[in-house]
Amino acid sequence: MSMEDETRDFLVLIVNTISKVLLWMMINVFTGIYLGYGFFENKPSWGNIIYYLFFLLTFYLLFKHLKLKWKL
C-alpha cells in the first residue's frame, strides 16, 4: 500500500517546516547562549546589537518563507 500523493506532500511540508524552525533555533541558541551574545554586561555591546538584529532579520525572513510555503 502506498500513501496518497497529497498526504505525502503535506507530511513532507510539515517535516520541512519543523526542521527549518529547529535549525534556526539551534543557530540562535548557540550564538546567543553559548557564545554569550544574548546577554548584556552593564550595557549592550556591538556584538549584542548585531546578534539581535540578525535574530530579528532571520526571524522575519523565516516567517515570510514559511508563509509562502504554506500557501497551498
pLDDT tens-digit map of 3-62: 788 899 999 999 999 999 999 999 999 999 999 999 999 999 999 999 999 999 999 999
> Residue 1 pLDDT > 70, yes or no?
no
pLDDT at 3: 72
**Grid cell of 21 as nine digits:** 524552525
Range of the domain at 62: 5-70
Is the Cβ–Cβ distance between 37 and 47 less than 8 Å?
A: yes
Indicate the number of domains in the chain: 1
